[in-house]
Copies of this chain bind each other. A is one copy, B any other.
Amino acid sequence: MAVGQTELPVLHPVDGVRLGTACAGIKYPGRKDLVLIALDENVASAGVFTQNAFCAAPVLIAREHLSTASPQVLVINTGNANAGTGAQGLSDAQAVCQASAALSGCQADEVLPFSTGVIGEAYPLEAVLKGLPDAYAALSKDGWADAAHGILTTDTMPKGVSKKITIDDCEITITGIAKGSGMIRPDMATMLAFIATDASLSDGLLKKCLNNAVENSFNRITVDGDTSTNDACILMATGKSALPLIEEKSGAFQKLCDAVSDVAEYLAQAIIRDGEGATKLVTINVVEGSSEQECKDLAYTIAHSPLVKTALFASDPNWGRILAAVGRAGITDFDINAMSIFLDDVCIVSNGGRAPGYTEASGQAVMDKDEITISINLGRGLHNARVWTCDLSYDYVKINAEYRT
């Protein structure tokens, strides 16, 4: 069960985008595991992809297609990552593009392929090809919720959100879905996220809007520090709303960016709420650092500490583990007496030791919550960084020790 989230909110259609989901029987019979997203002509798309050196075959192809053509179709399968599959994997991903293009009446290089699932196993090409016509037949502008289900792997619930804003008296819709639960430490993107809006933007501006949204959402989360081979996040702008083309130096662009960032942040948090075995959503907030990098490094050091994460799981205010993680984060010329550590608004460490007035009871009261903020004030600059993570539980080990069985 995801922390603090029980059901998928209403996902509004985005004019110009249709989605179709099918059960291709890739890993389990009767499970939604194949999704087609069909775009009208003249839809602009931008993408960011994993920085893992072992890119999956579909990532290599999607990245290339996105740079040379205007995407008409996105095709996503779960149950197999098509990563570590060498030349055969590339050929299989191309075959999926060709089949999708034939169904949709476009060119193969106008198809972006995505895969998620086990790394290193042969790609189930036959099952995917067999499932494609069903997915195509299901295409509908109301297909977002089914698609949110169709892209899941170890997730316990679908992730999506919709937002309507008004710019210059025009209603603009932004809808996004994402998947991800483990192998989550995105670096330029998360596992898989697809966001669409009916606003109209140039390709360059769309990329700017995406990068801005990703930087403070998907690039600020970690479940286990492991970066996937298949991460991708795509933003599509259909231009179907009444609003004219958005210009860069306009209030409209800022408004849209803010809304897309909100959607991305919601989806990124949803991934952490549903982190493998997660029982808590933890915000790590580092402020007053001498650089943003230093703040990020420190936040991730805490977020990746197995000892901090198991203490969070146990609701144990064992703040010595946070202190030890801060101390090993490699901050140069670090004056431990200038910094302080908070659990929510309870100061636990100041002047290099336990804060005056701190009591175990006050720490325990925060630790008993499902959503906790750990704040570090470095007291040496003007920069800050925020990262979301979850705890480390028995179920994390169970899920990952039994993943392939």
Task: Give the B-binding residues of A (Cβ under 8 A).
Answer: 51-55, 81, 83-89, 118-121, 182-183, 185, 187, 224-229, 304-307, 310-311, 313-314, 316, 318-321, 323-329, 331, 334, 336, 349, 351-354, 392-394, 396-398, 400-405
Contacts and interface: CB of A to CB of B under 8 A. Distances in A.
B403 A316 contact: yes
Q: Among the interface residues A185, A310, A392, which one has the most CB atoms of the partner chain B within 10 A?
A: A310
Give the secondary structure class of A's interface.
Answer: loop
Given A84-B354, A306-B224, A397-B313, A320 B120 contact: yes
B320 A226 contact: no
Given A226-B307, A314-B402, A397-B397, 10 more contacts: A52-B328, A53-B334, A54-B323, A54-B324, A84-B353, A119-B324, A185-B328, A304-B304, A306-B400, A311-B400
Contact of A227 (B51, B52, B120, B324): B324
A153 to B, nearest CB: 13
A86 B351 contact: yes
Contacts of A405: 314, 316
Contacts of A226: 305-307, 321, 324-325, 328
A52 B306 contact: no
Nearest to A403: B318
Contact of A54 (B51, B225, B352): B352
A85 B336 CA distance: 12
A326 B305 CA distance: 20
A121 B320 CA distance: 8
B224 A326 contact: no
A53 B307 contact: no
Across the A-B interface, give the 7 residue pairs with the lowest CB-CB distance, nearest first: A119-B320, A86-B353, A54-B327, A120-B320, A310-B400, A314-B401, A227-B328
A202 to B, nearest CB: 33
A87 to B, nearest CB: 8
Nearest to A305: B226
Nearest to A187: B328
Given A183-B307, A306-B225, A323 B354 contact: no
Contacts of A400: 306-307, 310-311, 314
A83 B396 CA distance: 30
Contacts of A81: 320
A83 B255 CA distance: 49
A89 B53 CA distance: 47
Contact of A228 (B306, B324, B353, B396): B324
B401 A397 contact: no
A314 to B, nearest CB: 4
B53 A326 contact: yes
A326 B54 contact: yes
B120 A354 contact: yes
B53 A85 contact: no
A149 to B, nearest CB: 24
